[in-house]
Amino acid sequence: MDDHQKCRLHSAMKPFLGYCFYKSAANLKERMDESVKPLGLVIQQCGILTILEVLGNLSQTELAEQLEMDTTSVVRFIDGLEKKKYVERIADPKDRRVRMLHLTPAGQKALAEVRKVGREAEEKFLSPLSAEERKAIRSIVPKLITEG
């Protein structure tokens, strides 16, 4: 039995949706963190790589806004990604004071691996659900975040 299966929910807490989401999110975050740890990453850095791939070059401030994180935290995560050569800071041709973040080929390769191990972790997390329930939760949860 894997450690994640030891996580239990007392029957008295099942009616409290907020608590159930909290426990589920903590369980999934732990799984995701463990899945990307061998890559030398944390889940927040995976988010940075993903946003840079989708949106292209961004300033640190723009990236922080996209991720809804404070700039100080984003800079710390970027420093780690830069050391691994997954991102590089390049001068903004419009404003020399601004450094734009660029996803490198090594970062793209790392992101592909992140997606692979992330999918595996998600599948293990969702394994108690039927295929139909998995499809439903993947559709419903984003709506709760953006519209809730």
Each residue's pLDDT tens digit, 46-72:
999 999 999 999 999 999 999 999 999
pLDDT at 13: 81
Q: Is residue 137 part of a domain?
A: no
Q: Helix-strand-coil percent breakdown of the chain, rounded to 5?
A: 70, 10, 20
Q: Is residue 18 part of a domain?
A: no
The alpha carbon of 123 is separated from its chain's Cα centroid by a whole number of angstroms, namely 15
pLDDT at 76: 96
Tell me the pairing of strands 95-103 and 58-59: antiparallel
Query: How many domains is the chain partitioned into structurally?
Result: 1
For residue 60, the SS3 value is helix
Q: Is residue 11 part of a domain?
A: no
In the chain, the percentage of residues whose pLDDT exceeds 90 is 75
Q: Is residue 84 part of a domain?
A: yes
pLDDT of 74-90, one tens digit each? 999 999 999 999 999 99
Q: Is residue 8 part of a domain?
A: no
The whole domain housing 44 covers 25-117
Task: Identify the CATH number of the domain in which residue 109 sits.
Answer: 1.10.10.10
pLDDT at 35: 95
Q: Is residue 12 part of a domain?
A: no
Q: Which residues contact 13 (CB under 8 A, 6 or more apart)?
A: 19, 20
In the chain, the percentage of residues whose pLDDT exceeds 70 is 94
The pair of three-digit structure tokens given for residue 93, joined into one six-digit string: 């041709």
Q: Is residue 9 part of a domain?
A: no
**pTM of the full structure:** 0.82
pLDDT at residue 102 tops 60: yes
Q: Is residue 66 part of a domain?
A: yes
